[in-house]
Amino acid sequence: MASKLHKSLRIILPLLLGGLLIVLLYRKVDFEVVRSTLTSDVRWEVIALTCLLGPISVLFRALRWDLQVEPLRREGMGSTLGASILHVQGSYAVNMAIPRLGDLWRCTSMQGYTGIPFSRLLGTMIAERAVDMITTLLLIIPGLALNATYFTTFLHDHVRRPSVGDGPAGSPRTWLLLILALLLVVFLLRWLIRRFQLRRKLQKGWLDFLAGLRTIGEMSRGARWLFLLYTLGIWLCYFFAFYLTFQAFSFTEGLGADVALVIFSLITISSILPVQGNIGPWHFVVIQSLIFFGVAADPAASFALIVHASQTAVTTLVGLVAILLLPLLRENPES
């Protein structure tokens, strides 16, 4: 019962958070402006192009992951490429159900299709996420440099910085309780390991995990170059999927790539929040940013609603199709 409640809360709470933010953002929007934008001020061919860039970026991500996964495959098994593509595409649909579950799902499911230990697959996933984190920082730095005034204004207007000692978080008693709780958790884990003799299994899992992390370092020079090219392809698709949408609306077509990079940097930061499809945080960042750069509030809200809904729908649909196609791999093990 408690497990079902926990699973339900993992789905419902992020949706409520995103939904509440959407309600707050759109409660004063004139939906006649949204309707007018939908019917007469959208270049749908541009929107269609940006929607295609989403699945293409995911394809690059799958090709990159396969460079790590392929050397780990069991002996006598065929190529892992098909499984890698379908699992990475499908993980985006899973994330729409439960935030952050997609990566764990693809590792768990991939184990069933390839026989590669989950811990090794998890290591490869964490390694690629570390690369993405570095890439994100490399994007944010020039974005900040291009328009430091905007970032400082945005943070000043929308982020409250509590003073040291403000509230329970600054209380010495709170810190003492946290330290005691951490020590208790460590003690319980050590007791469980000894009680159920899990040490050997954990050691094997840890070694498999490290093997997954080492996959990038053990690649050939050619594979490393491909890994970097795929990483570049992922982030170029992400960026242009957003930047090109400026050309789909008359009220944003005058905004340049520098503005797109600034907003894209904030979008990337907002994606850290565990909300399905970044619903809510994405809209907040885009609407507030467009208003700062001179777009009126109602058109900015229309832009965010149309762009996010269309791109998310396509990526989720492609992911669902990928999940439906997965059983075909069992019928054709050489794929």
State residue 308's pLDDT score: 92
Q: What DSSP string describes 11-68?
A: HHHHHHHHHHHHHHHHTT--HHHHHHHHHHS--HHHHHHHHHHHHHHHHHHHHHHHHH
State residue 77's pLDDT score: 62
- Identity of residue 194: R
Reported as a single tens digit per residue, the pLDDT across 29-50 is: 666 777 777 778 889 999 999 9
Q: Three-class SS of residue 196?
A: coil
Report the alpha-carbon angle 119-137-212, nearest 5: 15
Q: Are 92 and 103 in contact (CB under 8 A)?
A: no
User: Average pLDDT over the chain, rounded to whole?
Assistant: 78
State residue 59's pLDDT score: 96
CA R_g for the chain: 23
Reported as a single tens digit per residue, the pLDDT across 58-105 is: 999 999 999 988 887 765 566 788 899 999 999 999 988 877 788 889
Q: What DSSP string describes 311-335?
A: HHHHHHHHHHHHHHHTHHHHH-TT-
State residue 80's pLDDT score: 82
State residue 192's pLDDT score: 56
Token pair 């929607």: residue:
51
Q: Is the pTM of this model over 0.85?
A: no
Reported as a single tens digit per residue, the pLDDT across 262-309 is: 889 888 888 877 777 778 888 888 998 899 888 998 899 999 999 999
pLDDT at 164 over 50: no
